[in-house]
Structure 1
Amino acid sequence: MGLLAVVVEVVTAVGLLLATTAAVVVGPDRLRQLRRSLRDRVRAALGPIVALAVVLAINAVVRDVGLELSWLVGVNVTAAIYAVEGEFVAWLQSLGTPAVTTVLGYVYVYGYAFLVTFPLVAYLALEDQRYLRATATAYVVNYGIGLICYVLFIAYGPRNYMPDMVQSLLYDALPRFQLLTSEINTNTNVFPSLHTSLSATVALLAVRTRDIYPRWLPVASVLAVLVALATMYLGIHWATDVVAGLVLAAGAVAVASRVHSI
């Protein structure tokens, strides 16, 4: 299976999840209103959306250059992280089963992509576009600070730092996804965990919109926890990365909430 086939698989799966969840969480009435006023609503949130697109583009372009720059100006903190938490990730993996590995592997890929995409649809369906603007702004803060941290801090994930104790479970169970993740991630970009920070950001924003979308809060909360767990269980991130991601999420939501008064 080639990269294109994997991308089509992920897009199809996430698209089905988005459509199903939108029907249940957003509801047909809001979706019909969205179709009628899509252009106006996008225009109302255009600034933060453009900023997010720019940050994502910069992140993609600078990824390789940033890696080289990181080796020039960055500090290798892998040993320090290991000194703090030791073999916690190896212990976590020891509790797993093949079924758990498969489920968390799909959570890491499908679940995460769905989790960070759905709020853009759900909040676009609201007449009040402050929540969409706040979400885009929070994502910008996450990606922006994450990129800076990846330049300043060199950190290998546990599967790379201690391969004799921690397995690359995602690639062992679902090897086709390596074609996709290798295009996005590098081995030294683990601190903080953006999977965790963005997932937690979605969950924190879901708390603020629980009166509007009560069904979304439990879904977002459970998925955010599972994504954070998956990043460690699969050997990709340290617990320290996850904690840093949670701190980043809290800061990003605080900034976005203040800027957009939600």
Structure 2
Amino acid sequence: MVPFQSMTTVTVYIVFVVFFLVLFSLRKNPFYAAGSFVQEIFTSRKFLFHFIGVIGILFINKLELSIEKSMRPRHDFTSSIYKIEGDFSASIQHFFHNDTLTYVATFFYVVVFPALMIASILIYTYQKNYKLFYALCYAIMFNYIVAIPFYLFFPVNEVWSFRPNVSLLINDVFPSFETEYRPLSGLDNCFPSLHTSISVTLAVLAFHSRNKFWQIFVPCSAAFIIFTIFYLGIHWLTDMCAGVLLGVAAARIGMRISEGRFSFSTQRSLIEQRAKKG
């Protein structure tokens, strides 16, 4: 039996995971959290615009794939990355290779990863932790705004497509991955790793939440998701390092903006104060 038969199956899994994550985090009926989100969408223009911003950047990321096709041929930087780090990813995959681990890793890569983002939005909204909700919106947008230019002008292919000694293990449990999931992410959209950067962003923001379960579960999940990008044969070590830096920076910038410490007016005031002192 193939666990992941289609994106429909994946979507169903995501819904169930979000349901249980919200349930364990809030100890409340998850439909209450969903109701709070819908209420905010219809009653708060600020809340709505931030959510639209996140949806918009995801649409732009999808558009990037179309723009990328029109830019071919482009220089391929994959060989340069390989010269820097060699067969690190291959070593991870060969050392840990196990059928059960392949299933769990795939589950975290395609299901838990998006579920963490969705559940974070619902949890922060229900707890009325608007600072974290807005920080999450800003951080997700920042992650994509920084990553997309690299995908366009610094293409790096996934490890399995470059090294014959590395396999795309996701295909073992999700045979239609290349036809159904691939349209969401280009084969050469490796540097930086968004799975890494967004996971790190979610983990950093979770530390600032008031939810003990979330403070522990999200960082642990983020660490395992980072492991999966190597084990499944997708990303290079360089992609991960860049993703960690981007994720931390995005979370900090998101927090500063949501707290009002990164507004243009604030920056202008600081500049004027320094000018007066000078």
Structures share fold, TM-score greater than 0.5: yes
Does 1:68 find its partner at 2:70?
yes
Does 1:90 find its partner at 2:111?
no
Cα distance in 2 for partners of 1:219, 1:41 equals: 27
Moved more, 116-125 or 172-181: 172-181
Alpha-carbon shift at residue 204 of structure 1 (Å): 0.7
1:71–1:154 CA contact under 8 A, matched in 2: no
Does 1:154 find its partner at 2:152?
no
Alpha-carbon shift at residue 70 of structure 1 (Å): 6.5
Kindly provide the amino acid, as one letter, of the partner of residue 91 in structure 1: S
Which residue number in structure 1 is paired with residue 231 of structure 2?
A: 233
Aligned ranges for residues 165-180 of structure 1 at < 5 Å? 165-180=165-180
List per-residue Cα deviations over 1:29-78 (Å, max 9, x = no partner).
89648736842366242232121111111221231212433745xx5321
Residues 178 and 191 (structure 1), Cα distance of their counterparts in 2 relative to 1, 3 Å cut:
same
Structure possessing the higher radius of gyration over alpha carbons: 2
Aligned ranges for residues 178-257 of structure 1 at < 5 Å? 178-209=178-209, 212-257=210-255
List per-residue Cα deviations over 1:125-177 (Å, max 9, x = no partner).
122312111101100011111111101201111101112x1111111343133
Unpaired stretches in structure 2, ≥5 consecutive residues: 261-278
Does 1:58 find its partner at 2:60?
yes
Residues 260 and 87 (structure 1), Cα distance of their counterparts in 2 relative to 1, 3 Å cut:
same
* Number of residue equivalences: 255
2:139–2:250 CA contact under 8 A, matched in 1: yes
Unpaired stretches in structure 1, ≥5 consecutive residues: none
Cα distance in 1 for partners of 2:78, 2:9 equals: 34
SS state at 2:93 partner: helix
Cα distance in 2 for partners of 1:99, 1:37 equals: 36
Cα distance in 2 for partners of 1:145, 1:50 equals: 19
Moved more, 124-133 or 62-71: 62-71
Q: Percent identity of the aligned residues? A: 23
Residues 136 and 33 (structure 1), Cα distance of their counterparts in 2 relative to 1, 3 Å cut:
closer
In the superposition, the TM-score normalised over structure 1's length comes to 0.89
Alignment RMSD (CA, Å): 2.4
Kindly provide the amino acid, as one letter, of the partner of residue 104 in structure 2: V
2:34–2:122 CA contact under 8 A, matched in 1: no
Residues 31 and 239 (structure 1), Cα distance of their counterparts in 2 relative to 1, 3 Å cut:
same
In the superposition, the TM-score normalised over structure 2's length comes to 0.84
Residues 230 and 36 (structure 1), Cα distance of their counterparts in 2 relative to 1, 3 Å cut:
closer
List per-residue Cα deviations over 1:175-196 (Å, max 9, x = no partner).
1333322221221111111111
Cα distance in 2 for partners of 1:109, 1:169 equals: 13
